[in-house]
Structure 1
């Protein structure tokens, strides 16, 4: 199965529908989904001579922002939709 890379044009197209003042975060690690702050965009060339653009997270301690919101992990298909378990009736002070 061939792997297709997202192009800069694809990214610009997707971003053009977003709020221009919204921060850009990177979702990483589908098995332990975390949000990371982006700090750099670097253009380079790969081993075949093709132009490549890298989005990099920062090096500061606060670059990792914490867990990815569950709805984002579900939208990325990194986690299945999960419903909260049913609540049990509360016990009263008398123990019943």
Structure 2
């Protein structure tokens, strides 16, 4: 099975449509989705000898920001859309 990897050019194209003043976050772990702050971009060579760019989270204690917003997890297809359960009629003071 071949994987299509996002390239730097693809990332630039995708980011160019975004608000340039918005902070960048990294979504991690589809089974326990969390949001992280990005702190560094490092260009290196991967294990196959090809150039690769790594986006890294910071080392500060507040780098992990908490749970990923549910709408982001749904958009990433990490969680199914969830609807609120149907409301039942309230009981009255007389028990009816």
TM-score, normalised relative to structure 2 = 0.90
1:47 shift after superposition: 2.3
Separation in 2, partners of 1:58, 1:84: 36
Q: Which runs of 5+ in 1 are unaligned?
A: none
Distance 1:95 1:60, change over 3 A: farther
Matched with 1:50 is 50
Pairwise CA distance, 1:89: 3.7
Q: Structure 1 segments of 4 or more deviating over 3 A? A: 88-96
Distance (whole Å) between structure 1 residues aligned to residue 33 and residue 18 of structure 2: 22
CA distance in structure 2 between the partners assigned to 1:72 and 1:2 by the alignment:
26
1:32-47 aligned within 5 A: 32-47=32-47
CA drift at 1:49: 1.6
CA RMSD of aligned residues (A): 1.4
Distance in 2, Cα, partners of 1:61 & 1:92:
50
Structure 2: unaligned runs, 5 residues or longer? none
TM-superposition CA deviations, 1:7-26 (whole Å, max 9, x none): 00000000000000000000
Deviations 1:2-59 (A, max 9, x none): 0121100000000000000000000000011110000000010012221000000111
What TM-score, normalized by structure 1, do the two folds share? 0.90
- Paired residue total: 96
